[in-house]
Amino acid sequence: MSTSMARRNQYQDRVELLQGTLDMLILQTLRSEPQHGYGIMQALRVNSGEVLQVETGSLYPALHRLERQRWVRSEWKYTESKQRAKYYRITAVGKKQLASDLSRWQRIVEAIGAVIGREPRESVA
Amino acid sequence: MSLLSRLFANRRHELEEEVQSHLPMAIQDRMDRGESAEQAETAAICELGNVALVKDITRETWGWVRLERVAQDLKYALRQLRTSPGFAITVIGTLALGLGATGAMFTVVDRVLLRSLPYENARQIVEVKEAGRRGVRDRTPFLDLQQWRERSHTLSDIAFYSANNHVSFLEGNTGATQVVAPRVSANLFALLGTHPAIGRGFEGRPQSGSVRPQDAQTMILSDTVWRTVYGSDANILGKAIKLNGESYTVVGVMPRGFTFPFGGANPVVWTPIVLAEADAARTPTYAAIARLKSDVTLESAEAELKGIQAEVSKAYTDPYVREEVTSIHLQRYGDSLVGRDVSKALLALFGAAVVLWLIACVNVTSLLLARSTARQREIAVRGALGASRGQIVLQLLIEGLVLSGIASLLGLGLAVLTVRLFDHALTTQFNIHATLTPNASVILILLGLTLVSALLASIWPAIDAARASIEPALRQGSAQGGTGRAQHRTRALLVVSEIAMSLTLLVGCGLLLRTIYVLRHVPLGFRTDHVVVANMTIPSFRFVGRDIRTELYQPLLERVQHLPGVQSASLMTEVPLGKTFQMVFTFAVEGNTAADIRQRDLSAQFRAVGPEMQHVFGFRMADGRFFNEQDTAGSQPVVVVNRAFVKGFLGDDQDPKKILGASLIGYGKDRRAVVVGVLDDERQVSIAGQSQPEIEICIPQITPDTGFYKSAEGLAMDLAVRTERSPSSVVPELRRLMQDASPELATSNFTTMDQVVEDSYGSQQLAARLLEMFGGCALLLCVAGIYGLLAYLVTQRTRELGLRIALGAQRSDVMWLVLRQATWMLLVGSGIGLVLSYLTSVLLRTFLYGVKPNDPWTMGAVSLLLIGGGIAAAYLPARRAAGVDPMQALRTE
């Protein structure tokens, strides 16, 4: 465990950087339907136009954290291709959290946009 | 543990599956997009990243990783201890000794000093006593305490009671039960903040607090008596019960757990105090307790009462008595239960135990420090592999906790054992009748101590180890590398402080051993060997209206005297040094001349003795004769006094003959007893105290028509038997004879005269025993500490020593090199220790007899012992140092 310490710190930095946003994105993705980890990753990739590439090292800790917060619930199900996978479903509390996250995000984007005077989309890219 | 680890395993398994399920989906996706199976797999694995790491980080979000890691550290710590059992045993043993001693002492301190009284706001309850020229008087006449009641504004109420110091008998359904039957005023229960759980209290008179005459023959039972004697009889109220042959009606039962006076082994019933004409003449006296009004301090109440008492004492017409009651002594009831010297003694012993605990901690710290040095390399490697300082400190801390956890379990066992070992002494000294077992608070405190000792012992080496820079330890690569001078000095300082503290304990121990030695050589004035003593509980209620001498004592004595192996046997109200019963004789003189005052000041021990007692104890006579068989009920009454009495009576004891023939006591109409003999000085009251005045009367001459027949014969009696047989074989036979004489006598206490003497050494004996133990442990730890440090230093310096020898140093030089270090530490430690013990042995003053607190002989002898032990401990490592083979030592390089 200790051999990997140095590199782990890098990961933790990145997780921190994305934390709030990633949680929000995951919740947003789960709002339409329950999804497994791989599915969420793909959805984020596709929906962001191949821009956002979430790594497993960020995704799984985030999912488990969300579950601990009781914002999502998980269950084992079979995929269409008959493979066992762990599906995550957003809870009522999670939806409330998502709403507040989104409105906060909106405010931040507007604030930053006002300061920089540009379109928010470009700042993300 | 297994459940926890299974839970861990389950979740870990699930996570593994979850992350792994990722892979086939990704491969499938890529293949669907047209990549070859091989390509897809490589790319997917690449994308997935480091699976182990992902799992690691994810697990951390669970939050129990910390717990899991602690479990791991725990496992690791246990493995570490298994690999070096010698170290583990030393540390655990050392800590267990320290904790055991403190635990045992704390159990006692907790029971004796910190016990809480079962009364409402017990701190407000105080004992009020009159005091004057001759000290504090235990009991007060009603008229005086009534004055306090009427005038005081600091006391909310005053109650009074009269506790008998002898056993009473309650006749129940199944025979007689021994009880204590204090007489109490009507307001006593209310003053203590309680009232009967069943029935009512005594009907009182509000002005005086005493009980109305119509309630004179009523009784209130304690819960214990109600349960054990009357089987919780629901219809107990109104029943007639016989106490010492007199009939009482039960009017109430007190709640469970209530008792008064506090302490004592026997169950309690209460009878009422009804005032009589004698109370107007100040004849009966009572113990007074009061409750302070809230916000009133002890001092202000005492000041007020002293003012009132100045007025009260003016009512005494006799100037002699007036001077005895001029002042007031006020004390909290709780404090009055434990003598000042006892509480001081306990605190001193507790201090000694704490010192032992400190020594143990210092020793363990020193050991752990040495070990962390030896483990520097291991710690450096762990650090190099990425363990953070916090993790290393945590790891060492857990090791410390494991060690002290095991030690505290052992220590708890030791504490229980120690308390058991001293059970007898504790009962006789502190009047504790319940079995002493460490209670919850003691266990909690022990655990707290353990934690503190673990922290003390581990944190220091742990921080030290974590602070050490990794590189030098790794680079040097040899077991001998990397110890700073600062660390040697730290360890030397630890050993020096250990020596100083041990010396302090040993000096205390030495002083007490000398005290005991001196006490054992005090000439007692009577023989104590081969005497079995029975402290009888006299069922005098069975002999009301009959002569207890001819119907109980004489037949019993004759039978005992005819037992095989019994040389002589006799009766005495209390054997010498017995602490079970006391009667005091004073002269009823009225005048105020110098001779009158001397005689009025004389208060003598009053004992009724059988004539055969001379054969049992071999009392030495200074003059005249002891009682003999010719002294009977029909002959001239005679008494025997001792030299101290003569001195008190005549003013000097140079010629004891002068008192012979004097008539001191009236036995009834025309029967006055004359002095026929003077006993030589003897220690009948206490061994350490000077001989007390004493007057003895002859049992066969005390007929039922004698004035003091009841108190001399009906309250207490000891049977003393001189026999060559062992007590264990005689006691059952004696018990059987006594049971045949009267069933109540079967519960009499048996002991030997040697034991009575032993018990009367009292707190000294107990303190000496405990300090012997503490001092012995301290010496052991000290020697172990010196040995440990030097042995370690020699190992560290093997290379240097080898070099010295190779360069021509003599073996004796090398040996001296090591011994010098030991001598230095011992001298400095002893020096500090002597100063410490000079300062602290004053605390022991109350224990000491025949030796001064700063006795130079004791200090010298103890220092020599410690230094001798230390040098002996240093000798082994020194010889090993001298035996270093230079070739071998240099080759290890």
Tell me the shortest Cα–Cα distance from B5 to chain A, in angstroms. 18
Q: Which residues of A touch B13 (CB under 8 A)?
A: none
Residue-range domain boundaries for chain B: 2-62, 122-337, 340-520+763-891, 531-723
* B26 and A CB contact within 8 Å: yes
Average pLDDT estimate for B713-717: 78
Predicted pLDDT of residue A9:
43
* B49 and A CB contact within 8 Å: yes
Q: Is the pLDDT score of B157 beyond 80? A: yes
CB atoms within 10 A of CB B598: 16
Contact B117, B262 (CB under 8 A): yes
- φ and ψ at residue B269, rounded to 5 degrees: -130, 155
Q: Is the pLDDT score of B461 beyond 70? A: no
Tell me the shortest Cα–Cα distance from A27 to chain B, in angstroms. 18
Q: Could you tell me which of B275, B147, B149 has the C-alpha nearest to residue B212?
A: B275
**B477 residue type, one letter:** G
Predicted pLDDT of residue B39:
85
* A13 and B CB contact within 8 Å: no
Contact B57 A85 (CB under 8 A): no
* A57 and B CB contact within 8 Å: yes
Confidence of residue B7 (pLDDT cuts 50, 70, 90): low
User: May I ask the CATH class of domain A2-124?
Assistant: mainly alpha
Which of A26, A38, A69, A86 is the best substitution to test chain B (most B C-beta atoms within 10 A)? A38
Predicted pLDDT of residue A10:
42
Q: Which residues of A touch B51 (CB under 8 A)?
A: 56
Predicted pLDDT of residue B466:
60
pLDDT tens-digit profile of B400-430?
Answer: 788 878 888 888 888 888 888 777 776 766 6
Residue-range domain boundaries for chain A: 2-124
Q: Is the pLDDT score of B131 beyond 80? A: yes
Predicted pLDDT of residue B299:
92
Q: Which residue among A1, A64, A86 places its CB closest to the CB of B56?
A: A1
**CA B814 to CA B812: how far, in whole Å?**
5
Q: Which residue, chain included where needed, has tokens 């020593």?
A: B801
Contact B386 A64 (CB under 8 A): no
Please, what is the average pLDDT of chain B? 82
- Residues 6 or more apart whose Cβ sits within 8 Å of residue B89: none
Q: Which residues of A touch B14 (CB under 8 A)?
A: 86
Tell me the shortest Cα–Cα distance from A109 to chain B, in angstroms. 29
Confidence of residue B681 (pLDDT cuts 50, 70, 90): confident
* B387 and A CB contact within 8 Å: yes
Pairing assessment for the beta strands B269-272 and B183-184 based on DSSP bridges:
parallel
Beta bridge partners of A89: A73
Q: Which residues of A touch B21 (CB under 8 A)?
A: 36-38, 83-86
Q: Which residue among A36, A39, A57 places its CB closest to the CB of B57?
A: A57
Predicted pLDDT of residue B3:
60
Beta bridge partners of A76: A86
Contact A4 B386 (CB under 8 A): yes
Which of B31, B33, B58 is the best substitution to test chain A (most A C-beta atoms within 10 A)? B58
Contact A55 B49 (CB under 8 A): yes
Range from A69-78, B57-66, B377-386, B418-427 carrying the lowest mean pLDDT? B57-66
Predicted pLDDT of residue B711:
75
What are the structure tokens assigned to A109, written together? 């984007």
Average pLDDT estimate for B18-46: 83
- Nearest-10 crossing angle of helices B389-421, B340-374: 140
Q: Report the Cα–Cα distance between both ends of chain B, in Å, rounded.
A: 46
Predicted pLDDT of residue B460:
65
Predicted pLDDT of residue B599:
80
Contact B372, B379 (CB under 8 A): yes
Tell me the shortest Cα–Cα distance from B40 to chain A, in angstroms. 15
Q: Which residues of A touch B18 (CB under 8 A)?
A: 37, 60, 85-86
DSSP string over B586-614: E------SHHHHHHHH-EEEEEEE-TTHH
Which of B14, B56, B61 is the best substitution to test chain A (most A C-beta atoms within 10 A)? B61
Q: Is the pLDDT score of B587 beyond 90? A: no
Q: Which residue among B19, B28, B386 places its CB closest to the CB of A3?
A: B386
* A5 and B CB contact within 8 Å: yes
Q: Which residue, chain included where needed, has tokens 């709030």?
A: A20
SS3 sequence, B503-536? HHHHHHHHHHHHHHHHHHCCCCCCCCCCEEEEEE
* B624 DSSP 8-state letter: E
pLDDT above 90 covers a percentage of chain B that reads 13
Confidence of residue B127 (pLDDT cuts 50, 70, 90): very high
Confidence of residue B221 (pLDDT cuts 50, 70, 90): very high
Does B718 or B368 have the greater pLDDT score? B718
**CA B734 to CA B566: how far, in whole Å?**
11
Q: Is the dihedral of CA B161, B164, B167, B171 positive or negative?
A: negative
Q: Is the pLDDT score of B615 beyond 90? A: no
* B76 and A CB contact within 8 Å: no
pLDDT above 70 covers a percentage of chain B that reads 90
Residue of B nearest to A79 (CA): B25
Contact A2 B15 (CB under 8 A): no
Contact B753, B720 (CB under 8 A): yes
**B207 residue type, one letter:** Q
Contact A86 B14 (CB under 8 A): yes
Q: Is the pLDDT score of B385 beyond 80? A: no
**CA B330 to CA B129: how far, in whole Å?**
6
Contact B454, B136 (CB under 8 A): no
| Global confidence as pTM | 0.68
Which of B10, B11, B16, B18 is the best substitution to test chain A (most A C-beta atoms within 10 A)? B18
Q: Is the pLDDT score of B775 beyond 50? A: yes
pLDDT tens-digit profile of B555-583?
Answer: 899 999 999 889 999 988 888 887 777 78
Q: Which residue among A6, A64, A85 places its CB closest to the CB of B62?
A: A64
Does B266 or B154 have the greater pLDDT score? B154
Work out how many CB contacts closer than 8 A connect A with B: 83
Q: Is the dihedral of CA B40, B42, B46, B49 positive or negative?
A: positive
* B390 and A CB contact within 8 Å: no
Does B28 or A11 have the greater pLDDT score? B28
Predicted pLDDT of residue B300:
92
Average pLDDT estimate for B543-560: 86
Which whole-number Å values give the CA distances from B302 to B139, B193, B290, B313, B330, in the listed order? 17, 22, 12, 16, 6
Q: Is the pLDDT score of B277 beyond 90? A: no
Q: Which residue, chain included where needed, has tokens 């310490």?
A: A5
Strands (E), B610-747: 621-624, 638-642, 663-668, 671-679, 694-698, 716-723
**CA B201 to CA B237: how far, in whole Å?**
12
* B60 and A CB contact within 8 Å: yes
* B262 and A CB contact within 8 Å: no
- Nearest-10 crossing angle of helices B65-83, B2-32: 120
Which whole-number Å values give the CA distances from B198 to B232, B234, B237, in the listed order? 11, 9, 8
Predicted pLDDT of residue A11:
43
Residue of B nearest to A80 (CA): B25
Average pLDDT estimate for B875-883: 86
ipTM of the complex: 0.74
Predicted pLDDT of residue B188:
92
Does B893 or A77 have the greater pLDDT score? A77
Q: Which residue among A1, A55, A60 places its CB closest to the CB of B19?
A: A60
Does B686 or B306 have the greater pLDDT score? B306
Contact B24 A83 (CB under 8 A): yes
* A45 and B CB contact within 8 Å: no
Compute the half-sphere exposure of residue B51: CA atoms within 13 Å on the CB side of its CA: 13
Confidence of residue B5 (pLDDT cuts 50, 70, 90): low
Which whole-number Å values give the CA distances from B131 to B140, B309, B314, in the listed order? 10, 10, 14
Does A6 or B666 have the greater pLDDT score? B666
Asked if the bond preceding B284 is cis, omega within 30° of 0, the reply is no
Range from B428-432, B845-849, B851-855 carrying the lowest mean pLDDT? B428-432
Which whole-number Å values give the CA distances from A27 to A98, A105, B234, B346, B799, in the listed order? 6, 13, 71, 68, 68
Contact B21 A86 (CB under 8 A): yes
Q: Which residues of B touch A79 (CB under 8 A)?
A: 25
Does B477 or A35 have the greater pLDDT score? A35
Contact B61 A64 (CB under 8 A): yes
Average pLDDT estimate for B810-822: 86
* B54 and A CB contact within 8 Å: yes
Q: Which residues of B touch A83 (CB under 8 A)?
A: 21, 24-25
Q: Which residue among B22, B28, B49 places its CB closest to the CB of A81?
A: B28
Residue of B nearest to A78 (CA): B21
**B96 residue type, one letter:** A
Q: Which residue among A8, A68, A79 places its CB closest to the CB of B53?
A: A8
Q: Is the pLDDT score of B716 beyond 70? A: yes
Range from B243-252, B470-479, B572-581, B598-607 carrying the lowest mean pLDDT? B470-479
**CA B642 to CA B653: how far, in whole Å?**
10
Confidence of residue B807 (pLDDT cuts 50, 70, 90): confident
